C-alpha cells in the first residue's frame, strides 16, 4: 500500500496543508478558514463548514467520528456521510454562485486544483482516505445518483436518515444500494483473529489491529484510484473492482519483533466464488502465504518465522466466521 521508504506522515501532512482551505472543529464548535483565500471561495468554503456546524448541533459529530466502539472502516463510512453532505451543499451553492458570475475563471481553477501535486505524491491508500469521503460520499447521500440534486435539490430527509442510522462499512458507501435498499442491505460480518498471532512465538508484540474494508482492500487487488479531477470519481464503482466486490468483513493485526514485522489479514466474503476471485488476484502480490477455506481467505505478509506459517494460517481460519 505504501513503499517502506515513504515518510507517510510527512506526505499526508503536506497534502492536508495544500488541500484544506478551512475546517470545522466539533470539539471547539468553531470553524477556521485560511486568510489568503479568494473572497468568492471564502463564501463557498463557509457553506461547506457551516453544514458541518449545523449537523453537529443535531448529531454530535465528535462522538460519531471518534467512537471507540466503531471500526476503522465504520468511521470511514460515517465520515463519508459528513463530508458527502457538506460537499454536496457546497457544490450546489458554488454552481449558483458561478451562474451569478460571482466566481472568476481563476477562482474556479483554484477551487478545483488546490493541492494536486501533494495528492499525487501520496500512496494510493491515503489518497482514498483523503478524497473518497468527499466525492463518493456526495453520491452516497443521493442514493448513488451523483446528479440527483438537479431534480430533487439537497436530500434533507436522506441525510438525516444516514445520520440516525449510519452506514457500517465502506462497502455501503461504494455500493449505496447495500445501505439504502433494505432488500439488498449488507452489513459487515465481524471477523476475529483470536489468538492466532500467538503462533508467532515469544518476542512478538501486537502493535496494531483494525478493519481495512473494501475501500482499502481494493488497493491490494489492483483497483484504480481516481485522480481528484476525474469526474468518474464520484461513482463508487471507480474505486473498486471485481476482486474486491463481495467483501463480507475483515480484520488485520500488525505484529513486530525487533526490525521484523508481520501482518495477519483474515477476510470473509459473500460467497465462495467471491473468495476465490479475491484469492486468485491477491496471490499475485508479495505474500508470505495465504490459504482459502470456503468463504474465508487468510493472508500473511512480512517475515514470519518459516516454520510458523502453517500454524498462523490454520489459526486464522479456525477463528474465521463459519456459515
pLDDT along the chain (323 residues), means of 10: 48 48 86 77 87 96 95 98 95 76 50 52 79 94 91 92 98 98 98 98 97 97 89 94 98 97 98 98 95 98 96 98 89
The pLDDT of residue 2: 45
The pLDDT of residue 261: 97
Taking Cα atoms as reference points, which of 44, 117, 37 lies closest to residue 86?
A: 44
The pLDDT of residue 20: 60
The pLDDT of residue 22: 75
Q: At what angle do helices 72-99 and 39-59 cross, to 10 degrees?
A: 140
Nearby residues of 95 by Cβ (< 8 Å), 6 or more positions away: none
The pLDDT of residue 150: 83
Sign of dihedral through CA atoms 137, 141, 144, 150? negative
The pLDDT of residue 8: 43
Place of cell 474505486: 239
300 within 8 A of 314, measured Cβ to Cβ: no
The pLDDT of residue 191: 98
243 within 8 A of 277, measured Cβ to Cβ: yes
Amino acid at each position: 500500500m505504501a513503499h517502506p521508504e515513504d515518510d507517510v506522515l510527512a506526505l499526508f501532512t503536506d497534502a492536508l496543508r495544500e488541500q484544506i482551505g478551512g475546517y470545522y472543529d466539533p470539539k471547539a464548535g468553531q470553524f477556521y478558514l485560511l486568510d489568503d483565500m479568494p473572497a468568492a471561495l471564502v463564501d463557498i468554503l463557509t457553506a461547506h463548514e457551516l453544514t458541518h456546524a449545523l449537523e453537529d448541533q443535531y448529531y454530535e459529530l465528535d462522538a460519531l467520528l471518534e467512537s471507540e466502539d466503531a471500526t476503522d472502516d465504520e468511521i470511514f463510512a460515517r465520515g463519508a456521510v459528513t463530508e458527502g453532505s457538506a460537499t454536496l451543499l457546497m457544490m450546489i451553492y458554488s454552481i449558483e454562485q458561478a451562474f451569478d458570475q460571482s466566481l472568476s475563471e481563476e477562482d474556479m481553477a483554484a477551487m478545483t486544483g488546490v493541492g494536486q501535486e501533494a495528492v499525487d505524491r501520496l500512496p494510493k491508500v491515503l489518497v482514498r482516505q483523503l478524497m473518497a469521503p468527499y466525492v463518493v460520499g456526495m453520491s452516497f447521500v443521493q442514493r448513488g445518483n451523483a446528479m440527483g440534486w438537479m431534480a430533487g435539490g439537497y436530500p434533507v430527509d436522506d441525510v438525516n436518515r444516514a445520520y440516525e442510522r449510519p452506514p457500517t462499512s465502506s462497502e455501503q458507501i461504494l455500493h449505496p444500494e447495500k445501505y439504502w435498499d433494505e432488500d439488498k442491505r449488507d452489513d459487515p460480518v465481524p471477523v476475529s483473529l483470536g489468538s492466532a498471532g500467538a503462533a508467532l512465538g515469544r518476542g512478538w508484540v501486537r502493535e496494531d489491529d483494525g478493519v481495512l474494508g473494501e475501500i482499502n482492500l481494493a488497493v491490494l487487488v489492483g483497483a484504480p484510484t481516481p485522480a481528484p479531477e476525474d469526474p468518474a470519481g464520484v461513482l463508487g464503482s471507480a474505486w473498486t473492482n471485481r476482486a474486491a466486490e463481495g467483501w463480507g468483513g475483515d480484520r488485520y493485526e500488525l505484529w513486530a519483533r525487533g526490525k521484523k514485522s508481520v501482518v495477519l489479514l483474515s477476510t470473509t466474503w459473500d460467497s465462495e466464488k467471491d473468495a476465490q476471485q479475491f484469492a486468485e488476484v491477491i496471490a499475485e502480490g508479495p505474500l508470505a502465504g495465504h490459504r482459502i477455506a470456503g468463504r474465508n481467505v487468510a493472508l500473511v505478509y512480512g517475515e514470519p518465522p518459516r516454520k510458523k506459517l502453517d500454524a498462523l494460517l490454520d489459526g486464522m481460519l479456525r477463528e474465521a466466521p463459519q456459515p
